Chains A and B, each alone.
Chain A
Amino acid sequence: MLESAEVDELIERAKDGDHPSFEELVRRTYADTYTLAFRLVGDEEDARDVVQEAYLRAHKGIKRFRGDAQFSTWLHRITANCANTYLGRRGRHEHDPLPDEPAIVDSHPQIDPEERAGIGDLRDQLTEALLALPPKLRAVVVLRDIYDLSHDSIAEQLGITESAAKVRLHRARKRLRERLYPLGEEEQARAV
């Protein structure tokens, strides 16, 4: 894990303006930051832009890092904020906006999902299912259920209310569950 006395020292030196210390922090965190950015924007090239912007903001704001949260959590918040801004800009420039409620299609309906989970490819399916979510829903579920950010922090970074963040989270979880564990037709008919 990133947090250690050595990292604390690097952070303190970076706050005092020591550029090599900040560079070392970048070296230690950029793969994690890139992974989060990729999960949020769903595209490698866009994720690169988001990561660069995130480190520029972190560099400018490192003096304001008080250490209330872990450095990695602080960086995740900045990355989430950059990704949200980026997606907003991308949305404005796209002529064909993403539909808000795209249909969920199981790409392998012939295979029992429980069995697939049993043979250990649940994580691959999950990654695929996450990328298939609309960006607004994906962001909350990634930040909450993978990166463990609090509801209020997620709401703040995405520029929405806490209750809106919760509603999106529950919708996202519901979609993921429906995709990973679809009900059989017979079961659906029996449901009351």
Chain B
Amino acid sequence: MRCENMSLHLAELADGFDGPTPDLACDIGSCLRCQAELAQYRKLLRALATLRGDYVVPDDQLLNDILESLRPPATVHRLHRLNHRNRRAAYIGGIAAAATAGAAGAIVIAARLANGRHSLAS
């Protein structure tokens, strides 16, 4: 068999699960190029196996995103309800603060007007 046609067979043989057929063994045994190629495949497989221990480190946000997406619906609902309640309290507080400020302003203006009348009268 020509060396070019051997390449895919060598790629298959490299992990060593299936032994070569007698024909292939004969071809490999008599061809230095095929032997070198087989050795390169084995080296490649060893190098690939070492990548198993390497990690591509993700940023911290990924973990938060995963956990957020997994949060049970009840918890999410409770959180939304809590947010809604907090928002309502904030609105009411804001309106109350605005009303108080308005009333205080009206009192101040009324007091000034009253003082003005007193000074005109005297």
Contacts and interface: CB of A to CB of B under 8 A. Distances in A.
Contacts of A51: 58, 62, 66
Given A31-B55, A48-B65, A174 B48 contact: no
A192 B70 contact: no
Given A34-B58, A34-B62, A126 B51 contact: yes
Contacts of A27: 63
A155 to B, nearest CB: 16
A133 interface: no
Interface in A16-65: 19, 22-23, 26-27, 30-32, 34-35, 38-39, 47-48, 51-52, 55-56, 59
Contacts of B65: 48, 52
Interface in A171-185: 171, 173-174, 176-177, 180-181
Interface string B41-73: 101110111111011111000110111011010
B109 to A, nearest CB: 59
B69 A52 contact: yes
B14 interface: yes
- By DSSP majority rule, is chain B's interface helix, strand, loop, or mixed? helix
A86 to B, nearest CB: 15
A146 B48 contact: yes
Interface string B73-110: 00000000000000000000000000000000000000
Given A56-B69, A146-B52, A170-B12, A177 B62 contact: no
A104 interface: no
A51 B67 CA distance: 11
Interface size grouping (class) on chain A = 35 or more
A88 B40 CA distance: 33
A145 B48 CA distance: 6
Contact of B2 (A126, A171, A192): A192
A7 to B, nearest CB: 18
A166 interface: yes
A57 B47 CA distance: 32
A18 B62 CA distance: 22
Given A56-B69, A122-B47, A127-B51, 17 more contacts: A26-B66, A30-B63, A31-B56, A32-B55, A35-B55, A47-B58, A51-B58, A51-B62, A55-B66, A123-B47, A126-B48, A145-B48, A170-B8, A174-B11, A177-B41, A177-B44, A191-B3
Interface of A: 19, 22-23, 26-27, 30-32, 34-35, 38-39, 47-48, 51-52, 55-56, 59, 117, 122-123, 126-127, 141, 145-148, 166, 169-171, 173-174, 176-177, 180-181, 187, 190-192
13 contacts: A31-B55, A34-B58, A48-B58, A51-B66, A55-B69, A59-B70, A146-B48, A170-B8, A174-B7, A177-B37, A177-B44, A180-B40, A191-B4
